[in-house]
Amino acid sequence: MRRFEGRSVIVTGGASGIGAAIATRFASEGAKVVIADLKVEAAESFAATLPGAIGIACDVGDEGAVESCANTTLDRFGRIDVIVNNAGLMTFKGLGEWTGDDWMKVFRVDLLGAAFFTKQLFLHGGDSGGAIVNIASVHAIETSANAAPYSAAKAALLSLTRTTSIEGKGRKIRANAILPGAIDTPMLWDNPNVKSGAEVIDRKDVGRPEDVAAAATFLASDDAAFITGASLAVDGGRLAKL
C-alpha cells in the first residue's frame, strides 16, 4: 500500500518508541516524513534511515518552535497533509505533592503541543484538507494513582480531537484519537507504577509500536475518509475488561 505518495506528514516525538514506528510506516507508504522531536540528534539520525524523511528539533510545548517546524515542512515539502501528535511524557506524584509547574510540565507537552500543531494545519492545510491523529492513552478513560496530570491531559486531548473534527469539517480536516494500551517502549517499562506493581500489566496485554502505527496510518488515510472525531483503543482489549 502506498496511501501517502506525494503527501507530507509531521510526526511529533518521532525519534523513539511509538512515534518511530509511526514514522516508519508512513515512510513505507510513500510519505515525506518530518520527525519533530526534542532530541534533535536522535531525530536526525533516525530520519536518515527512512527514505525522504527529515529530522527537526522541536519542543512541541513551545508555540514558536511549532510554527518554525511547520514553516520548515512547507519549505522542504511544499505542503502539510497529516500531523500525528505523538510526543508525550508522564510524571508521577500523589495529589498532595503536585505543584503548578508539575501540572504545566505535562500539559504543555501532552495537550498544548497537540493544540499548537492543530493550529498550524488550520493555517496551512491545502484545499484538499488534511488529517490529525492524536495519540492519547487508555489513561484518558481509566487510570491509576499518581498520574493525575497525565490522565487529565490525555482526557482533554480527546476533547480537543472532538472540537477539531467539528471546526475542521468545513476545511476537510479530519481528527481522530488513538488510545494505546500498554505498548512495548521505554516509556512503558520506565513507568514507576509498572515497576512497583501498582499498575499490573499482563504480558499478553502488551502491544507493539507497529500496532499503533497501523491504526494511525489507517486513520490518516483516505480509507478513513468518513471517520472523524473518533477515539480508537489499540489496547488488546484492556479497556473492555471488568
Provide the binding-site residues for ligand NAD, judged by CB under 6 A: 12-13, 15-19, 37-39, 58-61, 86-89, 109, 135, 137, 180, 182-183, 185-188
> Cα 178 to the chain's mean position, in Å?
8
Give yes or no: 150 in active site.
yes
Judge contact between 84 and 39, C-beta under 8 A.
no
In the bound state with ligand NAD, the residue whose beta carbon lies nearer, of 140 and 224, is: 140
Query: Grid coordinates standing for 20?
Result: 518511530
Shortest distance (Å) from residue 233 CB to ligand NAD: 10
Backbone angles phi, psi at 54, to 5 degrees: -130, 150
Which residues, other chains included, contact 80 with Cβ-Cβ below 8 Å and sequence gap of 6+?
8, 10, 70, 73, 74, 120, 121, 124, 125, 126, 130
How many Cβ atoms sit within 10 Å of the Cβ of residue 173?
Answer: 20
Nearer to ligand NAD, 15 or 224 (CB): 15
Neighbours of 8 (CB within 10 A): 22
Q: Which residues of 90-113 are buried (b: 16+ CB within 10 A; e: fewer)?
A: bebeeeeeeeeeebeebbbbbbbb
Q: Report strand pairing: 82-85 vs 130-135.
A: parallel
| CB 100 to ligand NAD: min, Å | 18
Choosing from 90, 116, 150, 160, which is the catalytic residue? 150
SS3 56: strand
Q: Which is nearer to ligand NAD, 62 or 172 (CB)?
A: 62
Provide the minimum distance between the beta carbon of 46 and ligand NAD in the complex, in angstroms, as a whole number: 9
Of 133 and 173, which has the nearer Cβ to ligand NAD? 133
Minimum separation from the CB atom of position 129 to ligand NAD (A): 24
Q: How far is the CB of 145 from ligand NAD (least distance, A)?
A: 17
Cα 233 versus chain centre, distance? 14
Residue 91 or residue 172: which is nearer to ligand NAD going by CB? Answer: 91
Instruction: Tell me the catalytic residues.
Output: 150
